[in-house]
Structure 1
Amino acid sequence: MPKYHFITGLPRSGSTLLAAILRQNPRFHAGMTSPVGALFGSMLQQFAAGSEFGPVVTREQRRRLMRGLFESYYADQADKAVVFDTNRAWAARMPALMDQFPEARLIACVRNVAWVMDSLERRYRANPYELTRLFNDDNERSTVYSRVETLAQRNRLVGFPWSALKEAFYGEHAKALLIVDYDLLVNAPQKVLPLIYRFIGEEAYAGHDFDNVQYEAPEFDATLGMHGLHTVRPKVGLEERRTILPPDLFEQYAALSFWKNTAASGANVIAAQPAQPKDSQ
């Protein structure tokens, strides 16, 4: 049976890119968001307190059912040594994951939240003849302000994973969490990947090709009405650009990078260090 690790974090922060790189290793299986996280939550509801079956399903039966969900879904990956399951909900499920897989590690991809919003806004504007499912009505999608504020709500595309990750970052299982900054991943993947391998306790793989990364999911993106959302450019690198967000909106969300302050957290962080001032002598 394979070992399980998990990829989570903010949208538009490199999780699909990281999975596309990791899957170049023939010992690994990785992909974009899987349904396992949603199935996990749905199964919990079936035997939670107050449910019809709650009183008759023991704790050990619940544990076995949850474990069986992973084993059944990934039965066709039994030849792989490591399976990475991707879902933004995993950061909010760390107590259950650590109980199921004590040796598992959670890799969370992050990015300046203002640039996350900028990236999503660009995808929205690139599909001007589509009403994406990311918004429920015309009030939510009417302007860049309403769109960004909607996405930032605690139960929406950006606000939920941000809140879940903050919970995990300061939680009791933080040592099993690795924060990977998007800018560093795309600027120096050859430095970041060995650190990820070390974190998960695997031998580094020399065959990664950062100039030929392949991944896209057009059918999934089409159902969201947001074409290109999970398309990875072949060559890993940072695309320099100016933001299309109004300055006040950009400044508001740029202040939300809580992972830069590790003083109260046991989490591991891979991020660029600020330049140190030179000694003047």
Structure 2
Amino acid sequence: MTSHASIFHFISGLPRSGSTLLSALLRQNPRFHASMTSGLGALVNGVTQMMSPGSEVALTMAGEQRQDILSGLFHSYYQHLQDKPVIFDTNRMWTSRMPLLKALHPKAKVIACVRDIPWVMDSLERRVRENPYHFTRLFGPMNQGTVYSRVEALMGHEALVGRAWSGLKEAFYGDEADALLVVEYEYLSRMPEKVLRLIYDFIGEPWFEGHDFENVEFDAPEFDEALGVSGLHKVRPKVEFQSRRSILPPDLFKKFEGMDFWREMAGSKAFVIAGKREEGR
């Protein structure tokens, strides 16, 4: 097996916050690989669990073996992309594994896409309502009933939004925060070229002149249909911000306002690209 020499970076952050759009833009550069959430994160977690104290496997392994195995897993997963010098792997769990990423890939950067939580919830709720003929796998069977139960379920500690938000906050204030760039969706969608140039600077790559912000392509219909939420990863061809009224009840929208900790830079070494706060109502 030939050694994979690609540079690794990671895309993470909150759902419905531009990670698919960012991947679609980055992959326009023929030197880059970027896509939707991969299986690498799940494999890393599974192997780490198997090698952790308390398992039979752990009794047979030395510390350096664990590092070698996990490092090999990253490279083997993308062995088929020898023509891509730069790999962006996407997973919302990466912000909660910053020490591991730092240990395995000291020069790697993590780009975390964010959005005000009420608008994350609004976007997910819209997808649910656009698929009225079946329940979605985003929620447990007991949380399908109303917008209140759905939103509360999403914000649980181990749920889609709550876990991503907690992991991002951990990374934002952690020792490895200097490798973290937080990018707000509103800013990316309003000024995509400016934001993308800042991302290139952050990862130390030369600018690619071939980016086309009028013709962006990405869709994953089979994956979305398996979740029961069609259109979840479909990107509109033209990058633009579309203002709208929230479909959340006003009290529910207000409940999740003020959770944008990334706008408070005190105590963090992270880098932040953020626009002005958008008025919800």
TM class, shorter-length: over 0.9
Alignment correspondent of 1:127: 131
Report the alpha carbon displacement of residue 59 of structure 1 after superposing the two structures with TM: 1.3
| d(CA) in 2 for partners of 1:254, 1:205 | 37
Equivalent position amino acid for 1:233 in 2: R
- For the aligned residues, what is the CA RMSD? 1.1
Q: Residue 133 of structure 2: SS of its match in structure 1?
A: coil
| d(CA) in 2 for partners of 1:208, 1:7 | 19
Alignment of 1:102-113 (within 5 A): 102-113=106-117
Structure 2: gaps of 5 or more residues: none
Match of 2:274 among 271, 274, 281: 271
- Any idea what the Cα deviations from partners look like across 1:90-111, whole Å, max 9, x if unmatched? 0000000000000000000000
Alignment correspondent of 2:91: 87
Matching of residue 233 in structure 1 with residue 232 in structure 2: no
Equivalent position amino acid for 1:60 in 2: E
Equivalent position amino acid for 1:153 in 2: G
Report the alpha carbon displacement of residue 141 of structure 1 after superposing the two structures with TM: 1.2
Alignment correspondent of 2:72: 68
Alignment of 1:93-172 (within 5 A): 93-137=97-141, 139-172=142-175
Matching of residue 29 in structure 1 with residue 17 in structure 2: no
Equivalent position amino acid for 2:36 in 1: M
Moved over 6 A (4+): none
Report the alpha carbon displacement of residue 209 of structure 1 after superposing the two structures with TM: 0.3
Q: Residue 256 of structure 2: SS of its match in structure 1?
A: helix
Matching of residue 43 in structure 1 with residue 47 in structure 2: yes
Matching of residue 188 in structure 1 with residue 168 in structure 2: no
| d(CA) in 1 for partners of 2:140, 2:121 | 18
Q: Residue 80 of structure 2: SS of its match in structure 1?
A: helix
Match of 2:14 among 10, 16, 21: 10
Moved more, 74-83 or 114-123: 74-83
Equivalent position amino acid for 1:75 in 2: Q
Report the alpha carbon displacement of residue 190 of structure 1 after superposing the two structures with TM: 1.2
Report the alpha carbon displacement of residue 54 of structure 1 after superposing the two structures with TM: 0.9
Report the alpha carbon displacement of residue 131 of structure 1 after superposing the two structures with TM: 1.1
Alignment of 1:205-244 (within 5 A): 205-244=208-247
Equivalent position amino acid for 2:147 in 1: V
- Any idea what the Cα deviations from partners look like across 1:19-39, whole Å, max 9, x if unmatched? 000000011000000000010
Q: Residue 178 of structure 1: SS of its match in structure 2?
A: strand
Structure 1: gaps of 5 or more residues: 275-281
Match of 1:247 among 240, 247, 250: 250
Q: Residue 264 of structure 1: SS of its match in structure 2?
A: coil
| d(CA) in 2 for partners of 1:129, 1:52 | 46
